[in-house]
Amino acid sequence: MNDRTRYKIGCQWFALIILCGGVAIRFVEWFHCRDLMMDEVNVVRNIFERPYGGLFRPLVYEQFAPPLFLSMIKLSSSLWGFGEMSLRIFPILCSVLSLFVFYRLVLLFASKRSLWYPLAIFSFAEIYIQYANDVKQYSSDILVSLLLVFLAVKRDLFASSRFRFFIQWSLIGMITVWLSMPAIFILTGVGFSLFIQAYNARQIRYLLPLIGAGILWMLSFSGYYWLLLRHQIASEYLQAFHAPYFLNLSNGKDLIDSHNIELMTAFFSSAIGSGRHFPFFLNLIFLIVGFYSIFRNNVTKGLVLLIPIFCFVAAVALHRFTLLPRVGLFVMPLLLIVIGVGLDTLLTMRVWLQCLTIAACVISAGYAQQLRLFTSRIEIDELTKEIAFARKNKVAYHQIFLPELYEPSLIYYKRIHPNKTRAKSYDSIQILKWKTNYSALRSGIVNRSAFLYFWMDDGTMQRHRDSIFSFFQPIDSFVQPSYKVFVFDQYK
């Protein structure tokens, strides 16, 4: 066994260790059972309040999610209840399966010597862990994208009859668009790739079944658009929320304006799990080399990666999709595969071998910080933890005040969550409406009180300081990046 063979075997074993670590850290994060954040809560409210058929209508509470995804969540909650862990069973399973599909998929585009590097990013970069078990469609979007690409690359186009090919791909495409809306981007790449494969191989007889399947995909997506998407796209709230994440392309020069560069830089930084200069620029080099290598060596195969990325960027430029990192998660693993191809290409140059391996190892070592998640959890919106802090300071439930932004979360824990004992205690917690009369509020507060905040803007926080906080004596506080708790007493 020569040194090169030993190196490849070592890389494959290293990749398997990384894969196991990625699976473990996802399950550990699931077992940490963090509170549902506001968007998750509003999705759950839709599921709780509707029958299965109602999930195929536009959602309320400013949410959108594919109906088949919602149906899977409703199924798991029907079997095991509406607790945090049972609601997240389907997302966490999708995330874990994505790791295995990604592992196999990278090997179809790159070699074992570079497999471990994109796998390390996908396994341990925080964005892939944070949204692995959200009660949102992010992890299922990733799984559907990877599976579609895998089936298009792995399966022999001409191994089955034309009729079987037509039925299989028709059903795959028609179903996946109802499970994952961005699947239409991936199917576009799959369709073009399969079409060119058939044409180049002079298998003209497969073109008609492929065109027929493509027509059915478009009809299925058109039904999805007419039934659901057109209402969601027209939402003024969603348009306003996502407006900062649209590309500005009124003319060719706008592509490199500061807004677009910042957006694309932030998105790429999220995809690779680091915005630091050295990892960012090295991965950017890998990405550019990867694109070049795909175009040069196997553009037909590479189209299944490149076209979805192009369609995604085009949809963002047309303001029909958003460059918000968590919404674009489905395309990030495709970028990581291209990065793996770029690294693999550079590793064929012997002079680069040692330097690039060391550099990649240094970058990967940065993801070791995620091992902290084995003992701590990612915290975003921890209402129950905040209330527990207030209670620890001997604040009565009726003296705990939440801003209106927290009302959906309070509804979930009072009416939907299976812990009925806790729900009964939360009944007397008060919500601060946007037009609350603070003078009347102050006069009704006796003894000790607590005010909880989640992503409160500076203006509203200052207004509360001026109209409420200055009239009471501060006792204790618990301040985190996304939430805050302030405990007060009356002045003696």
Give which of 241, 243, 264, 262 is closest to 312, Cα–Cα.
Answer: 264
The CA distance from 47 to 253, in Å, is 45
Q: State what percent of residues in the chain have pLDDT above 70.
A: 91
Predicted model pTM = 0.91
Confidence band for 230, pLDDT divided at 50, 70 and 90:
confident
Give which of 147, 212, 153 is closest to 183, Cα–Cα.
Answer: 147
Q: Coil, strand or helix: which one is 440?
A: helix
Q: Cβ–Cβ contacts within 10 Å for residue 49, how many?
A: 12
The CA distance from 417 to 423, in Å, is 8
Model pLDDT for residues 434-449, shown as the tens digit of each residue: 777 777 777 778 788 8
Model pLDDT for residues 2-38, shown as the tens digit of each residue: 666 776 777 788 888 889 999 999 999 999 889 999 8
What is the per-residue pLDDT for 199? 78
Question: Residues 300, 304, 306, 308: is their CA dihedral positive or negative?
Answer: positive
Look at residue 188 and tell me whether its pLDDT is greater than 90.
Answer: yes
Sequence ranges of the domains in the chain:
3-374, 383-490
Judged on CB neighbours under 10 Å (0-12, 13-18, 19+), 446 is exposed
Q: Give Cα 181 distance to the centre of its chain.
A: 13
The CA distance from 450 to 398, in Å, is 10
Model pLDDT for residues 294-319, shown as the tens digit of each residue: 888 878 888 899 999 999 988 888 88
Of the candidate ranges 60-69, 74-83, 240-249, the one whose mean pLDDT is the lowest: 240-249
The CA distance from 138 to 120, in Å, is 19
Average the pLDDT over 469-482 and give the result. Answer: 84
User: At 430, which helix (H) or strand (E)?
Assistant: strand 430-432
